[in-house]
């Protein structure tokens, strides 16, 4: 089918996707030759809050009964731009707008998006082509090493027991049970992580705090005593680096703990906290009113909000000798920012400047659950990915697309979800996207795949229910398919600790169970290692390669990752069905591919056999595809 315009086809828009400022982009539309034009067609482009620009389109060529009109756009400003096309025929004005995910339809639809980012925007290379591993520190590995200055009000549990989840008489869950996972435990498992192909560890918060999740920071400058010491962190980074593994920290800068040296609501510390006196050096960080009432994160009074743009607070975090610089100097490779959409632009600007001044190869990753290119938060259009703030984001859009597809959603919808992100994000951001299927904030993927929805279930239900053997096998089969997509789509796969060995868990705190050392699902572990080996062996392609969808059948999808210049390519085929499928390499969709070797999968002549819930990975060379 021929369309007026297709934003994903380089014959219509070149180059594909987001555009670096002051670089050119060529746009082409096609109109039937019989269209009677009163004036030359125009492209209309604008940024929110600014006037439209009207770019005349000139005849490019005549082809197969159509006239092609083209124009070139040179953006002068960073920001999300919107555009459409317009022409007048016999006195009637017509519009070509986005009618579906990418196609220009006549007199219907919405504006197309063009993200324009800073000329100097580049993202760190160390993460590209690698594999991330997320660790909830209290639950990964307990070294047994004794630790000093551990508060006496912590409840120590036996490894593998069910985490506490019941509220007290006031309805508050204190999260004060600990299993003793520590930094030394992580260091003792570096060989294991290296065997998984891990190149980057992302640690949930390690700073001193008084709940096991440690998102209620008590002291930004100290490792929590139950995890070890600042020196333990330095040694972890040092030993990890010897294995080619970097370590990223979780930065929680939108709020602190009420039980902290800064707020000191409960008098635990000798410092004069903001809750205790207006004379506290930290008082200006918080907003009080009435009788010691204060703003808190989502109304949770143990998490008082801070004013991130307060000069004293900004200096404390982002200053010359601030928190960020301190941890980077001990070996941190960067920060993942908790609730990035609640951090104001000015603070994010200052944070990035601080980190990049220390080392441009340090990374800044934001927690953003939506499309981060056009996100609006609290009435402000955010500018995360324009070059002045984030390098990357947690890729929730991919996660939701993967889960939905593996659970039966149409392949075309999956394609549209993936391609929309690839179109809207700068390529350098895409290459370091954090691709996951499970995290500490959501139920584990194996539960989502194998069991019933837990959205309407109580905590008691989640505590009492695990997957049945049949549910586990179904969840595991679908998780394997999801991991194929997680590992080979653009971006960086992020394994949530335990997913690789079949660890179950509904929502918090059940998704934060202890790692089952000695009880791993070895089949699942070996499958993960196999995906990792393929990714490592062809890291050049997976690090910065382009992507093209090839097959979108009912139960089989196929896509390629390829290097644009050399054409070196990996073709990935995935069968999500419970029955065997077959793909012919002579199919028309492969006409511009020359296959060389089957890296993984079953080959029968020119056919690839895909058993139930399986994949194949094939090496190839992609030829250029020119013209309409």
The residues that are catalytic are: 338, 367
Separation of alpha carbons 446 and 495, rounded Å: 13
Structure tokens at 611: 């058993």
Separation of alpha carbons 418 and 8, rounded Å: 12
CB-based contact 623:592 (threshold 8 Å)? yes
Structure tokens at 39: 């004036």
Separation of alpha carbons 447 and 192, rounded Å: 25
Question: DSSP character for 122?
Answer: -
Residue with tokens 């918090």: 508
Separation of alpha carbons 435 and 530, rounded Å: 18
Structure tokens at 25: 């982009």
CA torsion sign for 299, 303, 304, 305 is negative
φ, ψ (nearest 5 deg) of residue 168: -80, -170
Residue with tokens 């307990």: 142
- DSSP-based three-state secondary structure for 575: strand
**Residue whose C-alpha is closest to residue 546's, from 431, 434, 627, 628:** 431
**Residue whose C-alpha is closest to residue 114's, from 7, 195, 209, 208:** 7
Residue with tokens 């995910």: 101
Is the previous residue joined to 489 through a cis bond, with omega within 30 degrees of 0?
no
Alpha-carbon distances, residue 149 vs 10, 85, 146, 225 (angstroms): 61, 66, 10, 6
Structure tokens at 35: 């269209």
φ, ψ (nearest 5 deg) of residue 238: -65, -45
CA torsion sign for 8, 14, 15, 17 is negative
DSSP states along 409-467: --HHHHHHHHHHHHHHS-HHHHTT-EE-S--TTS--HHHHHHS---TT--HHHHHH---
Separation of alpha carbons 26 and 609, rounded Å: 41
Collect all residues with Cβ–Cβ distance below 8 Å to 18 and sequence separation of at least 6.
Answer: 114, 115, 116, 117, 373, 385, 423, 424, 425, 426, 427
Kindly report each contact of residues 584-591 with a partner whose C-beta sits within 8 Å and lies 24 or more positions away, as own/partner. Answer: 584/608, 585/618, 587/551, 589/550, 589/551, 589/558, 590/550
Q: Where is 134: in which H helix or E strand?
A: strand 132-135
Alpha-carbon distances, residue 364 vs 124, 204, 309, 345, 392 (angstroms): 9, 15, 18, 14, 7
Separation of alpha carbons 336 and 202, rounded Å: 8
Structure tokens at 8: 């994903």
Three-class DSSP labels, 238-257: HHHHHCCCEEEEEECCCECC
Separation of alpha carbons 392 and 451, rounded Å: 32
């Amino acid at each position: 089918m021929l369309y007026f315009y297709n934003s994903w086809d380089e014959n219509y828009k070149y180059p594909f996707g987001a555009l670096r400022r002051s670089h050119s982009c060529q746009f082409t539309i096609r109109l039937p030759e019989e269209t009677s034009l009163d004036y030359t067609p125009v492209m209309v482009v604008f940024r929110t809050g600014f006037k439209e620009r009207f770019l005349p389109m000139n005849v490019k060529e005549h082809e197969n009964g159509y006239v092609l009109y083209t124009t070139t756009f040179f953006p002068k400003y960073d920001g999300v731009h919107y555009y459409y096309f317009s022409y007048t025929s016999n006195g009637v004005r017509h519009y070509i707008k986005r009618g579906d995910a990418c196609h220009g339809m006549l007199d219907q639809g919405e504006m197309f998006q063009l993200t324009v980012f800073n000329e100097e925007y580049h993202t760190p290379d160390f993460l590209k082509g690698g594999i991330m591993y997320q660790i909830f520190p209290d639950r990964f590995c307990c070294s047994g090493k004794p630790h000093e200055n551990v508060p006496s009000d912590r409840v120590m549990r036996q490894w593998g027991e069910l985490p506490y989840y019941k509220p007290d008489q006031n309805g508050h869950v204190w999260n004060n049970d600990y299993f003793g996972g520590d930094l030394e435990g992580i260091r003792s498992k570096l060989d294991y992580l290296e065997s998984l192909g891990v190149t980057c560890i992302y640690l949930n918060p390690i700073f001193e705090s008084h709940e096991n999740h440690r998102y209620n920071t008590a002291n930004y400058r100290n490792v929590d005593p139950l995890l070890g010491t600042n020196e333990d962190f330095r040694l972890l980074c040092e030993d990890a680096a010897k294995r080619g593994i970097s370590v990223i920290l979780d930065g929680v800068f939108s709020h602190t703990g009420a039980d902290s040296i800064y707020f000191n609501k409960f008098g635990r510390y000798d410092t004069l906290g903001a809750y205790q006196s207006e004379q506290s050096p930290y008082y200006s960080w918080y907003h009080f009113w009435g009788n010691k009432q204060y703003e808190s994160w989502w109304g949770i009074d143990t998490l008082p909000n801070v004013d991130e743009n307060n000069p004293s607070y900004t200096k404390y975090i982002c200053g010359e000798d601030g928190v960020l610089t301190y941890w980077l100097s001990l070996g941190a490779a960067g920060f993942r920012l908790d609730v990035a959409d609640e951090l104001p632009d000015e603070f994010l600007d200052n944070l990035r400047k601080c980190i990049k001044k220390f080392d441009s190869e340090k990374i800044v990753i934001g927690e953003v659950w939506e499309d981060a290119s056009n996100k609006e938060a609290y009435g402000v259009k955010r500018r995360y990915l324009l070059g002045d703030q984030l390098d990357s984001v947690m890729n929730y859009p991919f996660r939701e697309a993967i889960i939905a597809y593996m659970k039966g959603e149409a392949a075309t919808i999956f394609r549209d979800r993936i391609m929309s992100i690839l179109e809207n994000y700068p390529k350098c951001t895409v290459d370091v996207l954090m691709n996951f299927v499970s995290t500490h904030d959501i139920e584990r993927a194996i539960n989502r795949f194998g069991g019933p929805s837990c959205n309407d279930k109580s905590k008691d239900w989640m505590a009492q229910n695990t997957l049945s053997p049949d549910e586990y096998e179904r969840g595991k089969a679908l998780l394997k398919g999801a991991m194929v997509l997680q590992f080979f789509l653009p971006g960086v796969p992020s394994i949530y600790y335990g997913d690789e060995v079949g660890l179950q868990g509904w929502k918090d705190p059940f998704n934060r169970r202890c790692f089952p050392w000695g009880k791993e699902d070895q089949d699942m572990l070996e499958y993960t290692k196999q995906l990792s080996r393929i990714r490592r062996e062809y890291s050049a392609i997976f690090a910065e390669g382009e992507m093209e969808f090839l097959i979108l059948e009912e139960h089989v999808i196929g896509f390629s990752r390829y290097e644009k210049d050399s054409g070196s390519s990996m073709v990935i085929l995935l069968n999500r069905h419970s029955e065997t499928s077959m793909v012919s390499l002579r199919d028309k969709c492969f006409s511009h591919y020359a296959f060389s070797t089957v890296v993984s999968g079953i080959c029968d002549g020119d056919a690839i056999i895909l058993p139930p819930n399986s994949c194949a990975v094939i090496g190839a060379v992609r030829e250029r595809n020119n013209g309409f």
